[in-house]
A and B are shown apart, each in its own frame.
Chain A
Amino acid sequence: MTTRVGVVTFPGSLDDRDAQRAVRLAGAEPVALWHRDKDLHQVDAVVLPGGFSYGDYLRCGAISRFSPVMDTIIEQAKLGMPVLGICNGFQVLCESHLLPGALTRNDSLHFVCRDQKLRIENTGTAWTRDYSAGQEIVVPLKNGEGRFVADEHVLDQLEAEGRIVARYLDVNPNGSYRDIAGITNAAGNVVGLMPHPEHAVEPLTGPTTEGLGFFTSVLKQLVNA
């Protein structure tokens, strides 16, 4: 049976189609999920895509976190369903308290758009097992509020538990604490990532195809589950 990966569309999502295409190129069936629908339509995993849900009003991801679909996703994520939040999706996961910390305005105050080098630090998560430890990849990054912050205690805990999934290399584009580009929850099923692997899945449209590993990883995870 084909693995079904849901991609949520919130009002203001703009990378939902790209995420669906990445899911399809990885060999799974993308399922469009609507933010007002509590039903996850039998998906095996969920991607929260990038964009500007609810116009980033209040705080990025703060209003989406209370969408009906998020009630079900939060419940299922706690039961072990793989969830990947990219950019705005990462912000939604932090606002949902599925991941610690918060994302604030870039220290440069500028919106940043660049091809970003990352190092994959943790290959034990549902979304990174197709990478090798320490692997360096290049994927696009585009954000205005991508600066990961958390208190020292939380940062130390993330380091100690190996929960930093990816770090920025060469350039820290937004002032994220400890060069953090992505983190995971303790169980490894929920991952938040500020750069955009879904834009690096085809040679025609991406700087590399090195983002595809996130989407193939979850397939392997689900097949082995």
Chain B
Amino acid sequence: MARVVVDVMLKPEILDPQGQAVQRALPRLGFAGIADVRQGKRFELELEGPVDDAALARIREAAETFLANTVIEDFVVRIEEEGK
């Protein structure tokens, strides 16, 4: 089955307290030199049919109306290559 990945991230101008909490914890754990952390969401969609233009258009619509809130979030849709 083909897999399409939708990555959703808070827009850069929206404060991400989750990312900040992670970033603050990193030096405590000995991981130095990380200037910023943003936390996002990854959706893996397994398609029943082929990943054609129509299927991708439907997924973009789903991402725009439901998976992401475009008031505060950006999203990227990509096809995951076979064998990876």
Residues on A facing B (Cβ under 8 Å)? 58-59, 62, 66, 94-95, 100-102, 104-109, 147, 149-150, 175
Contacts of A150 in B (CB 8 A): 71
B11-19, B45-53, B76-84: which lies at the interface: B11-19
With both beta carbons as reference points, the residue of chain A lying nearest to B65 in the complex is identified as: A66
Across the interface, do A59 and B69 meet the contact criterion of CB distance under 8 Å?
A: yes
With both beta carbons as reference points, the residue of chain B lying nearest to A61 in the complex is identified as: B69
37-74 of chain B: CB within 8 A of chain A: 66-67, 69, 71-72
Distance in angstroms from B49 CB to nearest chain A CB is 23
Q: Check: B21 CB closer than 8 A to any chain A CB.
A: yes
Q: How far is the CA of A107 from the CA of B67 in the complex (A)?
A: 23
Contacts of B18 in A (CB 8 A): 105, 109
Contacts of B14 in A (CB 8 A): 104, 149
Interface size class of B (residues with CB under 8 A): 10 to 19
Distance in angstroms from B63 CB to nearest chain A CB is 12
Known pairs A58-B67, A62-B66; A102 contacts B17 (CB<8 A)? no
Distance in angstroms from A164 CB to nearest chain B CB is 17
Contacts of A95 in B (CB 8 A): 69
List 8 extra interface pairs beyond A109-B20, A149-B14, CB under 8 A: A58-B67, A62-B69, A101-B71, A104-B15, A105-B17, A109-B17, A149-B71, A149-B72
The CB with the most chain B CB atoms within 10 A, among A58, A95, A104, A109, is that of A104
Across the interface, do A107 and B17 meet the contact criterion of CB distance under 8 Å?
A: yes
Can you report 19 A-B residue pairs in the complex whose CB atoms are below 8 A from each other? A58-B66, A59-B69, A62-B69, A100-B71, A102-B69, A102-B71, A102-B72, A104-B14, A104-B15, A105-B16, A105-B17, A107-B17, A108-B17, A109-B18, A109-B20, A109-B21, A149-B14, A149-B72, A150-B71
Contacts of B21 in A (CB 8 A): 109
Contacts of B16 in A (CB 8 A): 105
Q: How far is the CA of A150 from the CA of B69 in the complex (A)?
A: 12
Q: How far is the CA of A89 from the CA of B57 in the complex (A)?
A: 31
Q: How far is the CA of A95 from the CA of B20 in the complex (A)?
A: 25
Distance in angstroms from B61 CB to nearest chain A CB is 13
Distance in angstroms from B71 CB to nearest chain A CB is 4
Contacts of A109 in B (CB 8 A): 17-18, 20-21
Across the interface, do A107 and B69 meet the contact criterion of CB distance under 8 Å?
A: no
Contacts of B69 in A (CB 8 A): 59, 62, 95, 102
